[in-house]
């Protein structure tokens, strides 16, 4: 079981909508200051890419550990890598609180999810836009987070694929039907002018990269996302 401090657990469990800025769109030459600029958000989203599962190569455990040292927020590591099971222990050691792996990248998903939980982290499973939610059927009970990609993973700043909204609704329905606490996170193309659509579909954790780090005033951008998630832009 995880042994997170109460402050982290409370933020992981806080009532949504939550905002999780993705540091993929941050200035890596000033990562400490960038992380401090988003402390009014809820989670810090760390996009790990290997140049194999996705075309891009980004962050490894070293940078995740640096983020964990600087930020008081939960560190949410989204592994877009093949064979994610090989790196679970390293990301847990780096200070990740949530480790999310792709269903498409892990043939033994049940075992990988068990490894994440044994490493003391919250466990998430992510689905690419085309992947049917039925693959969660026999693992859902063990998940803290379902991360639904609303772009094809690999890059920040892409436009939302809105064909994914019905999937967000269906995943939320499955979770409610089973009486689970699993969070529904969405990732890709989230902006103040569309975030309400995600909330309405049943998402409660919104990743936002360019919408936060592309804005000069991060606190204002986060506040605008929060308010639009509840009331619309």
Using CB under 6 A, list all residues that contact ligand DX5. 22, 24-25, 45, 47, 78, 151, 153-158, 187-190, 207-211
Nearer to Zn ion by C-beta: 43 or 165?
43
Residue 152 token pair: 């094809």
For ligand DX5, the closer CB: 50 or 187: 187
Calpha distance 15→161 (Å, rounded):
26
Catalytic annotation on 187? yes
Of 94 and 148, which CB lies nearer to ligand DX5 in the complex structure?
A: 148
Q: Closest CB to Zn ion among 78 and 183? A: 78
* CB neighbour list of residue 24: distance below 8 Å, 6 or more residues apart: 45, 47, 58, 59, 156, 209
- In the bound complex, what is the minimum distance in angstroms from residue 39's beta carbon to ligand DX5? 19
200: annotated active-site residue: no
What minimum distance in Å lies between the beta carbon of 10 and ligand DX5?
Answer: 23
Q: Which of 50, 76, 144, 187 is catalytic?
A: 187
**Catalytic, out of 42, 47, 50, 76:** 47
| CA dist., res. 175 & res. 204, Å (int) | 12
Residue 89 burial (10 A CB sphere; 0-12, 13-18, 19+): middle
Q: For 17, phi and psi rounded to 5 degrees?
A: -75, 135
- Could you tell which of Zn ion, ligand DX5, none binds residue 208, using a CB distance below 5 to 8 A set by kind? ligand DX5
| Longest alpha-carbon distance in the chain | 46
The entry of ligand DX5, Zn ion, none that residue 125 binds, CB within 5 to 8 Å by partner kind = none
Backbone phi and psi for residue 175, each to the nearest 5 degrees, phi listed first: -65, -45
The entry of Zn ion, ligand DX5, none near residue 25 (CB within 5 to 8 angstroms by kind) is ligand DX5
Binding site for Zn ion (CB under 5 A): 47, 78, 187
> Is 110 buried (19+), middle (13-18) or exposed (0-12) by CB count in 10 A?
exposed
Just list the catalytic residues: 47, 187
């Amino acid at each position: 079981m995880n042994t997170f401090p109460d402050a982290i657990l409370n933020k992981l469990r806080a009532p949504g909508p939550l905002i999780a800025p993705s540091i993929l769109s941050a200035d890596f030459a000033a990562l400490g200051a960038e992380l401090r600029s988003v402390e009014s958000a809820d989670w810090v989203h760390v996009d790990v890419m290997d140049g194999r599962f996705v075309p891009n190569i980004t962050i490894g455990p070293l940078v995740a550990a640096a983020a964990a040292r600087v930020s008081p927020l939960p560190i949410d590591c989204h592994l877009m890598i093949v064979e994610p099971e090989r790196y679970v222990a390293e990301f847990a050691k780096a200070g990740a609180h949530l480790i999310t792996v792709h269903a498409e990248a892990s043939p033994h998903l049940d075992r990988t999810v068990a490894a994440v939980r044994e490493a003391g982290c919250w466990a998430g499973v992510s689905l690419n836009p085309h992947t049917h939610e039925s693959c969660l059927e026999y693992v859902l009970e063990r998940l803290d987070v379902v991360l639904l990609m609303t772009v094809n993973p690999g890059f920040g700043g892409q436009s939302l694929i809105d064909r994914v909204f019905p999937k967000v609704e269906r995943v939320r329905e499955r979770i409610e039907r089973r009486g689970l606490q699993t969070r529904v996170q969405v990732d890709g193309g989230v902006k103040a002018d569309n975030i309400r659509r995600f909330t309405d579909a049943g998402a409660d954790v919104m990743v936002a990269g360019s919408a936060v780090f592309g804005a000069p005033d991060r606190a204002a951008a986060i506040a605008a996302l929060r308010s639009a998630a509840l009331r619309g832009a």
